[in-house]
């Protein structure tokens, strides 16, 4: 009986550990690479498969609330509000994330994505790239909640 109770207890801890992803439910301000001004508010959500996605909640740049005109496929001409820009991001441990993709609504292109929570959870350093990480660019998002 003790073995069963121990096994169930360990299983419960495993479920809690997986459900408590540090990014799940967090809200971030995206920062424009060029102007260094906030562009949007995005929220991360854990998917059924355990990966994370992030959708635009609010557009902070006046005049950019309209459709994703350069996006292809299912995103073409969709409103930016509610648009899922991050998909498939997986926790790699030690506040690091990998194997995701990020959609750049301005160019309509999708890039591979990895990231890391830094400065005690106040910032999210992201790297979008094509092929290998060296061929990409960085963005730092600021925690909004």
- Distances in whole angstroms, Cα of residue 2 to Cα of each of 9, 110, 111: 10, 51, 50
The confidence score (pLDDT) of residue 131 equals 85
What is the per-residue pLDDT for 2?
A: 52
34-80 tens-digit pLDDT:
888 999 999 999 999 999 999 999 999 877 777 788 888 888 888 89
Tokens of 15: 């479920």
Quote the pLDDT of residue 13: 43
Q: φ and ψ at 10, to 5 degrees?
A: -65, -40
Non-local (6+) Cβ contacts of 60 within 8 A are: 29, 37, 38, 39, 40, 41
pLDDT of residue 123: 97
What pLDDT, on a 0 to 100 scale, did the predictor assign at position 102? 96
Residue pLDDT, tens place only, 94-133: 999 999 999 998 889 999 999 999 999 999 999 999 988 8
Q: Please indicate whether residue 82 or residue 1 has the higher confidence score (pLDDT).
A: 82
What was the pLDDT predicted at 14?
A: 45
Which option is the CATH number for 22-143: 2.40.128.520, 3.40.50.10420, 3.30.70.2860, 1.10.10.10? Answer: 2.40.128.520
pTM: 0.82
Separation of alpha carbons 99 and 122, rounded Å: 22
């Amino acid at each position: 009986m003790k073995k069963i109770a121990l096994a169930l207890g360990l299983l419960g801890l495993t479920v809690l550990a997986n459900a408590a992803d540090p990014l799940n439910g967090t809200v971030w301000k995206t920062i424009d690479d060029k102007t260094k001004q906030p562009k949007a508010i995005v929220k991360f959500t854990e998917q059924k498969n355990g990966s994370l996605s992030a959708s635009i909640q609010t557009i902070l740049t006046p005049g950019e609330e309209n459709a994703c005109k350069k996006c292809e496929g299912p995103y073409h001409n969709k409103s930016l509000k509610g648009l899922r820009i991050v998909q498939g991001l997986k926790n790699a441990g030690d506040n690091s994330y990998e194997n995701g993709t990020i959609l750049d609504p301005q160019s309509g292109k999708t890039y591979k994505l990895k990231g890391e929570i830094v400065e005690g959870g106040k910032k999210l350093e992201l790297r979008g790239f094509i092929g290998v990480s060296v061929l990409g660019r960085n963005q730092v998002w600021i925690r909004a909640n």
